[in-house]
Structure 1
């Protein structure tokens, strides 16, 4: 590489640089773009370099709620009563999974102290309590100390040179990562002169690489890229989002009221599934379940480093308040106004004011597998994995591995403008309802009835996932012989021995047969392998009403697969982790 050695021609520039004051521009005046020159360690270019090499603390915001530091592994958190060991970034996904899979809106996460955190300059600090952590979080608001640049990165290794006042090289160091570069600049005095062994390479957020030949090009590359990507500092779980983002979020879709608590009184039943439409002119229309419209206004502001949403209705006192927006999950907004004051709303894009033809065409495209049926707050496990096929002329079939039921279906809208799927299945009353569409996604549909204790969730399956190589391979492995349960644990309880005599034979056409010895009972059932709407591989097991098999009936997440061993996992409604391992006999 071309060494950075000649600076005598810039002696006049150096004199200016050494007298550099607070009047400097966004980044310093530099010679022609073909030149190479030293920079002060306190210069704006150096600040850009330090921000680009700072520790990014946003990846664990789901735990600490702060982007300008990260918690050091390993540590332990308690999520909705369940202790989780966090040993790597991958383990953070389990927290989100628990939040998503467990139908609890009051998600609780507690950190087990003490912990160590790493600041943006890679300083490590021990935190002994929730109060100490909160103090650090309050110092770390967006636009304040959280100034790291994540949209562009250095490609290492890089050689950095130091110079004396006479522009004589005094040393060089090879840095291998962001931490070494950040610390190197932090250890320099304000008047120290530095530069790189050019050219150096940087990588943009879209994996594009750019080469720079001097400090001017370096500063320009960072300055140009720093705001070009979403740094995801909010992680959808903390309060680190902008007023503008909230406003865009509100007007993008209608919203379904999911929970209302005022003065510690749960008023959800009164308002459940009311529809709110926010418009850009500051008006909001609330529609009740019979279609009556209630008019109001909305506005937002920033207060105490928080985003606030003010709602004003003449006839809706339970909503008429200024709310702190404390969570923007995927598809949800949570509002808080003090102890015992809370509103939760769910996004309803495609659910409200959509045409029935849209839903009809979606349903007819593929088959739909039942992930969940809940009637009067009780899960109907005997329908798990059954498959709906919606045909023309209003005909619908519901099939398992051994039976097919036929009925009728129709799509209409109710007084609120919400889509409704009416199913009549004479010999299967568990699905024969007028289901309100509450969530519309590419591969998943969720329905309920006005009483939230009734719920239907369907996963899309096209051509039985035959084009998914992983699905086909797992099916072939399971059908390649007989299997036994090598492990079944429910929380801390090891119940493997209860299934020691069981032999599983996974057969074609979704049938699985379980035997318990030569003279023992047999349990026929349904099995299927699919890739669900979240991209996860799932193994459905359903043995109907067989009491001995109830604990094994679930849509299990496939954790690992070999030709002789398959490990499955599930987190149940009470946060209990279940592990099921099959091994080939």
Structure 2
């Protein structure tokens, strides 16, 4: 440790400066080859140090909408009807995932009060209501202009020395974190004098480390770095702080499916839904419609005010011609916006393949295909949920629920517009006997629809019944390991658990599930299936045919969690979120 000099010989000169200078200098630098100049606790240098060591409250803006404080873990929030435990920073991603599952702008998040918050100076306050929280939030300065400095950090531990007015050292303290340093400064009086044991190290936002040898260098380093990065202090929690380079690499990595288009607050989604955009490294972008027609345009990116912008230009696609801010870039999704009522949402679709008859024929024959959805004349045919197609050579196709197998014929043709058509003829199952017009061709999912989805068929590929997927096998074994009861079933705010309290579920081999309601009550046989779908999510299919009492539970449920005695399933619909929980009997 470097020993500090007493500087007694300079005390008189220093005191004269304190008493007669109307505006104190930014740095109270003293001469000397090995000088460790002291600063006052009210100096601009000390203020920069305090701002650098302040607590950053922007990481949980998705919850509290304020960067000048953060809510202490653990706490509970209600997100679109789902109760979520927030025990760590990672749990905040769950909120974002729930928001992303339904493409609406009126997501609802409610904090379960009381909660404790930590202010920028690490003071803790209990907050008992939303009104109290909003009042505190109004004190924040949003838009990247709050007090804390996040683009540079101290590397700990640090040793801080204190001095009297004669510049004699009066003590020292070792600090090991921002919180300790900030609290130390909070206890100082304005005229207290202090300095550090130099040199000290700081780390910039890009992981670069720098060393400073005195307070003047320290102040210059902080001042130079404080505006060098995007602190993400606004309440747009979707932007993810990605770089221009990451966006460009992401765009060219795979095709992109258009899922939502709003221009001038007009919903044009139906016009462009499932159009495919292919970005190339030479700045060209090819847009293909559902028929297979294509248009070529250009794309470019730039950075403005720490935000990445994507510019699209087409001759005949005015709804896309704009310079868009990119505000989401994760989980296979890109969201673009250009102001109120102007947005585009696209999903990554790496498995989209060539739109050729032979390609589709070969894909169909490679694996089994599970029915995710069938719609005829606008009505869902739920009784076929989870049934399995197998497309064989010589135009033979089978449809099975393990206990029953139907056989028919299949063929791939093209219509007058050159679009692919899958024709199925199966005499004893009219629900699938149709000429299905292909709208989305991927190697893991196929989608067919006609007349604006009045007739729709969606298939998920299942190879070897997912036998090589450890998660699928484990969940199957858990569910076949005993009988299960419905511990919870809610639809939005409605708790309907009692309607299923008497049901006992037994998941058996060969996709068979049996539901009983006591020794003398009715029983309901059905089909169950665990697969990992084309989006990588684990799904539990439940199908009880035409049994009216079980219709509500028939769906392809997302598996939220699975243990030996508890399984939680979730279904997000346009108007509500359903939760189904099984517990071991």
**Common fold by TM > 0.5:** yes
Q: Distance in 2 between matches of 1:554 and 1:277?
A: 33
Q: Does structure 1 residue 7 correspond to structure 2 residue 38?
A: no
RMSD of Structure 2 on Structure 1 (CA): 6.2
Q: Distance in 2 between matches of 1:397 and 1:505?
A: 27
Q: Does structure 1 residue 106 correspond to structure 2 residue 105?
A: yes
Question: What is the CA-CA distance between 1:523 and the residue it aligns to?
Answer: 1.6
In structure 1, the residue matched to 2:516 is 515
Q: Does structure 1 residue 435 correspond to structure 2 residue 441?
A: no
SS in 2 for 1:55: coil
User: What does the per-residue CA deviation read over 1:507-563, in whole Å, with 9 as the maximum and x for residues that have no partner?
Assistant: 122211223344443322222345667776554322222211122223445556555
Taking the TM superposition and a 5 Å limit, the aligned residue runs for 1:23-172 are 53-63=53-63, 69-71=69-71, 82=81, 88-89=87-88, 92-102=92-102, 104-109=103-108, 118=118, 120-122=120-122, 128=131, 139-142=141-144, 144-145=145-146, 149=150, 160-163=160-163, 169-172=169-172
Q: Distance in 2 between matches of 1:5 and 1:480?
A: 67
Question: What is the CA-CA distance between 1:335 and the residue it aligns to?
Answer: 2.7
In structure 1, the residue matched to 2:466 is 464
Q: Distance in 2 between matches of 1:393 and 1:155?
A: 72
In structure 1, the residue matched to 2:577 is 576
Q: Distance in 1 between matches of 2:294 and 2:539?
A: 43
In structure 2, the residue matched to 1:180 is 180
Q: Distance in 2 between matches of 1:184 and 1:499?
A: 59
Instruction: Give the conservation status (yes or no) of the 8 Å contact 1:70–1:119.
Output: yes
Cα separation, partners in 2 of 1:530 and 1:194, compared to 1, 3 Å = farther
Q: Distance in 2 between matches of 1:39 and 1:395?
A: 88
Question: What is the CA-CA distance between 1:63 and the residue it aligns to?
Answer: 4.0
Instruction: Give the conservation status (yes or no) of the 8 Å contact 1:113–1:128.
Output: no
Question: What is the CA-CA distance between 1:43 and the residue it aligns to?
Answer: 10
TM-score, length of structure 2 as denominator length = 0.67
Cα separation, partners in 2 of 1:140 and 1:121, compared to 1, 3 Å = farther
SS in 1 for 2:244: helix
Q: Distance in 1 between matches of 2:274 and 2:478?
A: 44
Instruction: Give the conservation status (yes or no) of the 8 Å contact 1:61–1:67.
Output: yes
Q: Distance in 2 between matches of 1:62 and 1:316?
A: 34
Cα separation, partners in 2 of 1:557 and 1:152, compared to 1, 3 Å = farther
SS in 2 for 1:141: coil
Instruction: Give the conservation status (yes or no) of the 8 Å contact 1:335–1:343.
Output: yes
Taking the TM superposition and a 5 Å limit, the aligned residue runs for 1:293-312 are none
Instruction: Give the conservation status (yes or no) of the 8 Å contact 2:244–2:303.
Output: no
Instruction: Give the conservation status (yes or no) of the 8 Å contact 1:237–1:328.
Output: no
Instruction: Give the conservation status (yes or no) of the 8 Å contact 2:54–2:120.
Output: yes
SS in 2 for 1:433: strand
Q: Distance in 2 between matches of 1:205 and 1:364?
A: 50
Cα separation, partners in 2 of 1:371 and 1:163, compared to 1, 3 Å = farther
Taking the TM superposition and a 5 Å limit, the aligned residue runs for 1:255-404 are 255-276=256-277, 286-290=287-291, 315-320=316-321, 330=331, 331-338=333-340, 341-350=341-350, 369-372=370-373, 379-387=380-388, 398-404=399-405
Cα separation, partners in 2 of 1:22 and 1:246, compared to 1, 3 Å = farther
Q: Distance in 1 between matches of 2:406 and 2:8?
A: 89
In structure 1, the residue matched to 2:552 is 551
Q: Does structure 1 residue 482 correspond to structure 2 residue 483?
A: yes
SS in 2 for 1:545: coil
Q: Distance in 2 between matches of 1:327 and 1:435?
A: 30
Q: Distance in 2 between matches of 1:309 and 1:492?
A: 40
Q: Distance in 2 between matches of 1:390 and 1:467?
A: 23
Question: What is the CA-CA distance between 1:499 and the residue it aligns to?
Answer: 3.2
User: What does the per-residue CA deviation read over 1:395-423, in whole Å, with 9 as the maximum and x for residues that have no partner?
Assistant: 7765433244566576999999xx97947
User: What does the per-residue CA deviation read over 1:67-103, in whole Å, with 9 as the maximum and x for residues that have no partner?
Assistant: 66545678887755x475765446644433433333x
Q: Distance in 2 between matches of 1:430 and 1:129?
A: 61
Cα separation, partners in 2 of 1:550 and 1:432, compared to 1, 3 Å = farther
Q: Distance in 2 between matches of 1:234 and 1:368?
A: 45
SS in 2 for 1:8: coil
Aligned residues: 556
Taking the TM superposition and a 5 Å limit, the aligned residue runs for 1:490-569 are 490-530=491-531, 538-558=539-559, 563-569=564-570
Q: Distance in 2 between matches of 1:307 and 1:87?
A: 30
Q: Distance in 2 between matches of 1:526 and 1:313?
A: 48
Instruction: Give the conservation status (yes or no) of the 8 Å contact 1:515–1:521.
Output: yes
SS in 2 for 1:582: strand
Q: Distance in 2 between matches of 1:333 and 1:304?
A: 18
Instruction: Give the conservation status (yes or no) of the 8 Å contact 2:368–2:462.
Output: yes
Q: Distance in 1 between matches of 2:35 and 2:406?
A: 78
Question: What is the CA-CA distance between 1:287 and the residue it aligns to?
Answer: 4.7
Q: Give unmatched runs, 5+ long, in structure 2.
A: 19-23
Question: What is the CA-CA distance between 1:447 and the residue it aligns to?
Answer: 3.6
Question: What is the CA-CA distance between 1:575 and the residue it aligns to?
Answer: 1.9
Q: Distance in 1 between matches of 2:195 and 2:186?
A: 12
User: What does the per-residue CA deviation read over 1:108-156, in whole Å, with 9 as the maximum and x for residues that have no partner?
Assistant: 346679998655444679884999799777x4435x5486548988678
Question: What is the CA-CA distance between 1:261 and the residue it aligns to?
Answer: 4.0
User: What does the per-residue CA deviation read over 1:9-44, in whole Å, with 9 as the maximum and x for residues that have no partner?
Assistant: 99999999x9997799xxx9xx99xx9978867999
Q: Distance in 2 between matches of 1:36 and 1:569?
A: 65
Cα separation, partners in 2 of 1:575 and 1:47, compared to 1, 3 Å = farther
In structure 1, the residue matched to 2:21 is none
Select the structure of larger CA radius of gyration: 2
Question: What is the CA-CA distance between 1:334 and the residue it aligns to?
Answer: 3.3
SS in 2 for 1:505: strand
Instruction: Give the conservation status (yes or no) of the 8 Å contact 2:232–2:241.
Output: no
SS in 1 for 2:439: strand
SS in 2 for 1:95: helix
After TM superposition, the structure 1 stretch with the greater mean CA deviation from structure 2, 548-557 or 5-14, is 5-14
Instruction: Give the conservation status (yes or no) of the 8 Å contact 1:486–1:581.
Output: yes
Question: What is the CA-CA distance between 1:49 and the residue it aligns to?
Answer: 7.0
Q: Give unmatched runs, 5+ long, in structure 1.
A: none
Instruction: Give the conservation status (yes or no) of the 8 Å contact 1:530–1:539.
Output: yes
